[in-house]
Amino acid sequence: MEYDISDLRLAEKGLKRIEWARQFMSVLTQIEKRFGKRRPLRGIRVSACLHVTTETANLLRALKGGGAQVALCASNPLSTQDDVAAALVKHFRIPVFARRGEDRRTYYKHIQSVLEIRPHITMDDGADTISVLHDERTDLLPGTIAGTEETTTGVLRLRQMEKKGVLRYPIIAVNDADTKHLFDNRYGTGQSTLDGVIRATNILLAGKHVVVSGYGWCGRGIATRARGMGAHVTVTEVEPVRALEAMMDGFRIMTIRDATRLGEVFITATGNTQVIRREHFQGMRDGAILCNSGHFNVEIDLGALRSIAKKRRVVREHVEEFTLRNGRRLYLLAEGRLINLAAAEGHPASVMDMSFANQALSVQYAVRQAGRLENRVYGVPKEIDIEVARLKLASMGVKIDTLTAEQQRYLQSWESGT
Ligand code: ADE
């Protein structure tokens, strides 16, 4: 079996951590049991380009248990947990191509390696394998059945491809399932982003002025959690409705320009490029901390930051100090990459449980539908979403009411009024 990882000797540590995460992934574990009995993925080859974490390891176990042949590469150069990569290779015989801190060339080489399995199904977090397949490995396109996409940024790109008529196989937008983005993006990113900031810096959040750019589901989660820890939170947004929501949720809203003078910690979560730029850096306070929680490292203009710095040095792991010509020091965390995965461990397992249950069931659905889907971006079928919510509630020991026959009739009627 071919693989490329940092250190196979880390496998025992990785195995323990994977087992720890598994305890919190009860929905996925139930699906894994079903898959183990019925083997619905027998003969199916799945290439996965995901963050190499303990949660991803449990997803791959479930897919493999369902009969799939799987191979894994990283969806970000800085998010790989090397011990997990080692455990997957040694204990689960899953080929992994990922090394934490790999350079861009190696990152793309690893995507090519994973594609060597000639996937029927691609599984992405950020659409990188889909891009490579469409640009460089078009020979593999006829063999694909479908792909799944985990994240907002990836789904946006794929919808653009669909719109332009260049998408060459069907995609299931896992991100868009309610049981994914309402929980993973909000509570998962919310908590793990602050976890990353704290692990990187050990700052006290209480009383700090935190500026969150973007009030999508991730931004909401971050802003809410930061407020919960006692920070004064300001939100910047470009969409009027979202800005209004943030305002009425009790946050201050201002332009990023105005916020630069105020902020002590800046966190971007917009999915867009150049959110914090040269003119903003110049106006920031001495000691301001900058980080990003969006998928790509483009939200903070790193080129501009480097070009206006007279001095740069790493002051602790994941923290780089930039001294500007005006004498002020700015601190960039985790090279502007996803702070929650680079400096912490990503979203907790109990929320990834729902995201990855959606992934596993979407793969099963796509295989069942083979040949019947068009080259479009599809939502996760509503039944899957409801099934995931039901299983999650049951695993938490929570019971909910059901409609009486009378209530069902009422909802289907229009006759009775005031
Ligand atoms: N994305 C965010 N957190 C993650 C995690 N723990 N595992 C895989 N992908 C993630």
Please give the average per-residue pLDDT across 236-257, as a whole number. 98
Q: Write down the mean pLDDT value for the chain.
A: 97
pTM above 0.85, yes or no: yes
Q: Is 3 a domain residue?
A: no
- For range 359-368, the mean pLDDT: 98
State residue 416's pLDDT score: 79
Q: Can you tell me which atom of ligand 1 is nearest the CA of 338?
A: 2
Whether residue 351 sits in one domain with residue 330: no
Q: Are residues 98 and 36 in the same domain?
A: yes
* Whether 160 and 234 share a structural domain: no
Residue 209, pLDDT > 90, answer yes
The boundaries of the domain holding residue 265 are: 187-342
Q: Is residue 357 situated within a structural domain?
A: yes
Do 237 and 385 have their domain in common?
no
pLDDT digits (tens, 9 = 90+) for 64-75: 999 999 999 999
Mean pLDDT of 9-26: 98
Ligand 1 midpoint to CA 65 (Å): 21
Could you tell me the distance, in angstroms and rounded to a whole number, from the CA of residue 243 to the centre of ligand 1?
27
Whole-angstrom distance, CA of residue 229 vs CA of residue 224: 9
Across 345-365, b (16+ Cβ under 10 Å) vs e yields: bbbbbbbbbbbbbbbbbbbbb
Strands 232-236 and 252-253 turn out to be parallel
For position 386, what pLDDT does the model report? Answer: 98
- Whether residue 108 is found in the same domain as residue 48: yes
Whether residue 418 is contained in a domain is answered as no
191 lines ligand 1 (CB under 6 A): no
Do residue 307 and residue 161 come from a single domain?
A: no
Verify that 328 and 256 share a domain, yes or no: yes
Distance (angstroms) between ligand 1 centre and the Cα of 400 equals 29
Q: 229 pLDDT band (50/70/90 cuts)?
A: very high
Q: Across residues 25-52, what is the average pLDDT?
A: 98
Q: How far is the CA of 346 from the centre of ligand 1 (A)?
A: 5
What CATH number corresponds to the domain at position 105?
Answer: 3.40.50.1480
Mark residue 327 as left, alpha or beta (left: phi above 0; alpha: psi -120 to 50; beta: remaining): left
In this structure, are 164 and 273 located in the same domain?
no
**For residue 415, is pLDDT > 90?**
no
For residue 162, the 8-state DSSP code is H
Percent of the chain with pLDDT over 90: 99
Within-domain flag for 325: yes
Tell me if 231 sits within 8 A of 207, measured CB to CB.
yes
> In Å, how far are 177, 188, 348, 384 from 185, measured between CA atoms?
11, 6, 11, 18
Specify whether 282 is located in the same domain as 367: no
pLDDT at 152: 94
Helix (H, G, I), strand (E, B) or coil at 322: strand
Dump the DSSP string for 66-100.
Answer: TT-EEEEEESSTT---HHHHHHHHHHH---EE--T
Arithmetic mean of pLDDT, 219-224: 98
- Based on the fold, state whether residues 197 and 234 are members of the same structural domain: yes
Best residue for ligand 1 mutational test, from 25, 55, 81, 193 (most atoms within 8 Å of Cβ): 55
The answer to whether residues 273 and 292 touch, using CB atoms and an 8 Å cutoff, is no
Q: What is the mean pLDDT of residues 202-208?
A: 98
Q: What is the CATH number of the domain that holds 222?
A: 3.40.50.720
Is pLDDT above 90 for 250? yes
C-alpha 274 to ligand 1 mean position (Å)? 24
42 in a structural domain:
yes
Q: With a cut of 90, say whether residue 418 has pLDDT above it.
A: no
List all residues 6 or more positions away from 114 whose beta carbon is below 8 Å from its beta carbon.
Answer: 47, 48, 49, 71, 72, 73, 95, 97, 129
Number of structural domains, the chain? 2
Pocket of ligand 1 contains residue 154 by CB under 6 Å: no
**109 and 220 part of one domain:** no
The average pLDDT across 282-291 equals: 98
For residue 315, the model assigns a pLDDT of 98
158: pLDDT strictly greater than 90: yes
Residues 91 and 164 occupy one common structural domain: yes
Predicted confidence at residue 238, as pLDDT, reads 98
Q: Which residue has the CA at smallest separation from atom 9 of ligand 1? A: 51
Task: Determine what percent of the chain is predicted with pLDDT higher than 70.
Answer: 100
